[in-house]
Amino acid sequence: MSESFGTRLVERISTYGPLCVGIDPSVEVLEAWGQEQSADGLARFVDAVLSVLPPNIAAVKPQAAFFERFGAAGWSTLEHLLTALRERGHLVILDAKRSDIGSSAEGYADAYLGNGPMSVDAVTATPYLGVGALAPLLAAANTNDRGVFILCRTSNPEGRSIQDVTGHDGRPVWQQVQDTVAEWNQGTNIGSMGLVIGATLRDHTDRLAAHNGPILAPGFGRQGATAEDFPLIFSSVADRTLANYSRFLLNTGPSGFVDAIAETSAKLISSS
């Protein structure tokens, strides 16, 4: 890799459209794919997905929780999936929502943004310990041309109780996160420090114009946002925003997965 994560992501979105395919082997998804709830069922699901996943998508985002569920065997399947996706040239985001400080944060940076077996293009992270505590992840991303997506304003209603608390300077917590991430991206055309912004937050559009990095937008499909919403919410930053769909695509099972990806991708492209 010689280009920054932000640049690579924008190129892929320009080529393939904004669809990010979430790989969420939840209980219901394993059922839809005819697999049992076990490490073996998970491994067979992953092989089935890999056998049909098309190459022409902007990004693929496995959700760590569904692999951790099956302990070391599940983790081994995740390593196999990440390796296969990397070898096929996919841009891979691990949705792990990690957070820690000091040497523990360095441990996560080594795990996902270094050269180890679980190496990915970008990882999601949580800023409750302060965006500054994630510095080891941000530094590894800059050094190794990777990215970090930091939770900013999420689509789940419980998030309001923390993210919308507004301090004496008039800035809600999410705004502080957004501003700090913008500082990390300063001096770049398109930075590699991204934000997670829920696609159901229709009042956020104007607030994104100044964001100088990538955006990962969950909330499409099962959570309520549609392809038609994409340009309304992310108009000013559509060139750098991933629209993530997970269960909406996977719940179709192996017979409908590829068509669901193609249809959703086409809708997103024609909307934007």
Hey, which residues are catalytic here? 97
Binder among 20, 42, 85, 118 for a copy of itself (CB under 8 A): 118
195 phi and psi, to 5 degrees?
Answer: -120, 150
146 binds a copy of itself (CB under 8 A): no
Amino acid at 130: G
- Yes or no: say if 11 and 240 are a contact pair by the CB < 8 Å rule: no
Residues 6+ apart with CB under 8 A from 37: 27, 30
151 binds a copy of itself (CB under 8 A): yes
Q: Which two tokens stand for residue 184?
A: 């990390």
28 binds a copy of itself (CB under 8 A): yes
If you ran DSSP here, which 8-state letter would residue 145 be given?
T
- Give how far the C-alpha of residue 67 lies from the chain's centroid of Cα atoms, to the nearest Å: 16
98 binds a copy of itself (CB under 8 A): yes
Binder among 31, 41, 48, 79 for a copy of itself (CB under 8 A): 79
Query: How many CA atoms lie less than 13 Å away from 156 in the CB half-sphere?
Result: 7
132 binds a copy of itself (CB under 8 A): yes
Nearer to a copy of itself (CB atom), residue 9 or residue 177: 177
Amino acid at 16: Y
99 binds a copy of itself (CB under 8 A): yes
Residue 192 and residue 8: Cα distance in Å, rounded?
9
Smallest separation (angstroms) from a copy of itself to the CB of 136: 10
Judged by the rule CB under 8 A, the positions of this chain that interact with a copy of itself are 24, 26-28, 63, 65-66, 68-73, 75-76, 78-79, 95, 97-108, 110-112, 116-118, 126-133, 151, 154, 156-163, 165-168, 173, 176-177, 180, 247
